[in-house]
Chain A
Amino acid sequence: MATRATHGLYGYLAEFREPWDLIDAAAKVRDAGYTRWDCHTPFPLHGLDHAMGIRGTRLPWLVLCGGLTGLTAALLMQWWMNAHDYPYLISGKPLFGLPAVVPVTFELTVLLSALTTFFAMWGLNLLPQHHHPLFNSERFRRATSDRFFISIEARDPLFQGERTREFLAGLGADAVEPVED
């Protein structure tokens, strides 16, 4: 198994069999002060965020903006179309009445919020990203089924090829392997 940090090295990949080992390990990596590293799990592990020290995302705020846009857009559209651009006399009702416009307004608010959520989430995750060095690792193919991984990138300021590999092995990983870029 090649252990020498080469030029095309992406980083090291440590495999764990059990979730709890990963959590412990993640906390240690965090304390060691690594910044460009990540955990890979087949399902969201509770507590792993804390262990990795990930702070809250700004996603909700984006959604709020999306929602408000939908709300105002809906209200303006309905007023403009039915009461301003071409005012219709319908059933002797007022040209613009709040009760009548509530449903559409609500729906558009929800729609834009949902769309924002969806696209913002993938955007912030920089996904889709069909090509990734980690996919070069055969071992990594189990990351979406039943194995748990920690990857530390070579770009991390604290990264020192061999030392980092030993550090990972020391965390009780079942296996540690370099990933070529």
Chain B
Amino acid sequence: MDSQQKDPRRDGPDPFRFPKWTNAIRLPVTLAAALAPLFILGLLYLLFSPGATSVGYQPAQPVPYSHQLHAGLLGIDCRYCHTGVETGAAATLPPTSVCMNCHATVRAQSEKLQLVRESFATGMPIPWVRVHDLPDFVYFDHSAHVRRGVGCESCHGRIDKMEVVRQFAGLNMAWCLECHRDPVPHLRPEDAVTVMGYVPDEPQIELGRRLRDARHITPKTDCSTCHR
């Protein structure tokens, strides 16, 4: 190619010049470009936070059972219905027969209890909707926690104040680890485990430390503690 072919002089005037304002915006633009990734990451982090995804989950139940009434006003102990909580991994939902222990006589004709009576008659279980749902690869054992003196409240919140049960905590791994690394704030005497709104006579920290050392409570943070 001959060296004159592309000489700009013959190709007429400069086709374009960047206007003056482009100088004004260069700093903000550069900064925005630099910070964008951080912004997006932060956004995702919040988007997937348990607070955003699971806390406060409150499905409608087939039977309008009120914890507020039973556990709160009537003060029925958690273990009356959730019998497995001290012996097994699952706290267990009560069989319909347990409901009928009282409701055979109390409010025997109530509309709300229609499904309960039906279930009792047919023997088909009531399909309660699971509220506190851990991922399938997590193995949580109620007895292991309750028997160490971790209050129901610590994970389930003030059930006695819930008309319909609502998910109280994030139930994500980081949340579990908090307590497994330092159980002290959550330890109670065994008789106070099911108490709602429990207030220790001494500062919780001292109580917790005492109970921890007394019962040799050393929660693990190994994979195998919860995953099998």
CB distance from A125 to the nearest CB of B (A): 12
Q: Which of A12-20, A49-57, A69-77, A130-138 contacts B (4 or more CB under 8 A)?
A: A130-138
Does A130 contact B22, Cβ atoms closer than 8 Å?
yes
Partner among B13, B23, B30 whose Cβ is within 8 Å of the Cβ of A131:
B23
Does A86 contact B221, Cβ atoms closer than 8 Å?
yes
Does A128 contact B26, Cβ atoms closer than 8 Å?
yes
Inter-chain contact count A-B, CB under 8 Å?
28
Does A131 contact B20, Cβ atoms closer than 8 Å?
yes
Does A129 contact B17, Cβ atoms closer than 8 Å?
no
A141 within 8 A of B: yes
Which residues on B sit within 8 Å (CB–CB) of A129?
A: 23, 26
In the complex, per-residue mask of A124-157: 1 if CB is within 8 Å of any chain B CB, else 0: 0000111100011010011000000000000000
Does B18 contact A131, Cβ atoms closer than 8 Å?
yes
Known contacts A128-B26, A130-B22, A130-B23; decide if A138 and B13 are in contact (CB<8 Å): yes
Range of interface residues on chain B?
A: 10 to 19
Does B22 contact A131, Cβ atoms closer than 8 Å?
yes
Does B26 contact A141, Cβ atoms closer than 8 Å?
no
CB distance from A53 to the nearest CB of B (A): 27
Which residues on A sit within 8 Å (CB–CB) of B21?
A: 131
Residue of A nearest to B174 (CB): A86
Does A141 contact B17, Cβ atoms closer than 8 Å?
no
Range of interface residues on chain A?
A: 10 to 19
Which residues on B sit within 8 Å (CB–CB) of A128?
A: 26, 30
In the complex, per-residue mask of A44-69: 1 if CB is within 8 Å of any chain B CB, else 0: 00000000000000000000000000
B130 within 8 A of A: no
Does B17 contact A131, Cβ atoms closer than 8 Å?
yes
Within the assembled complex, what's the spacing in Å between the Cα atoms of A136 and B21?
Answer: 15
B8 within 8 A of A: yes
Residue of B nearest to A130 (CB): B18
Within the assembled complex, what's the spacing in Å between the Cα atoms of A86 and B17?
Answer: 56
B9 within 8 A of A: yes
Residue of A nearest to B177 (CB): A86
Does A136 contact B9, Cβ atoms closer than 8 Å?
no
Q: List 28 A-B contacts (CB under 8 A).
A: A86-B177, A86-B221, A128-B26, A128-B30, A129-B23, A129-B26, A130-B18, A130-B22, A130-B23, A130-B26, A131-B17, A131-B18, A131-B19, A131-B20, A131-B21, A131-B22, A131-B23, A135-B14, A135-B17, A135-B18, A136-B17, A138-B8, A138-B9, A138-B13, A138-B14, A141-B8, A141-B14, A142-B8
Further 5 A-B residue pairs, CB within 8 A, beyond A129-B26, A131-B21: A131-B17, A131-B18, A135-B18, A138-B9, A141-B14
A interface residues (Cβ-Cβ under 8 A, vs B): 86, 128-131, 135-136, 138, 141-142
B interface residues (Cβ-Cβ under 8 A, vs A): 8-9, 13-14, 17-23, 26, 30, 177, 221
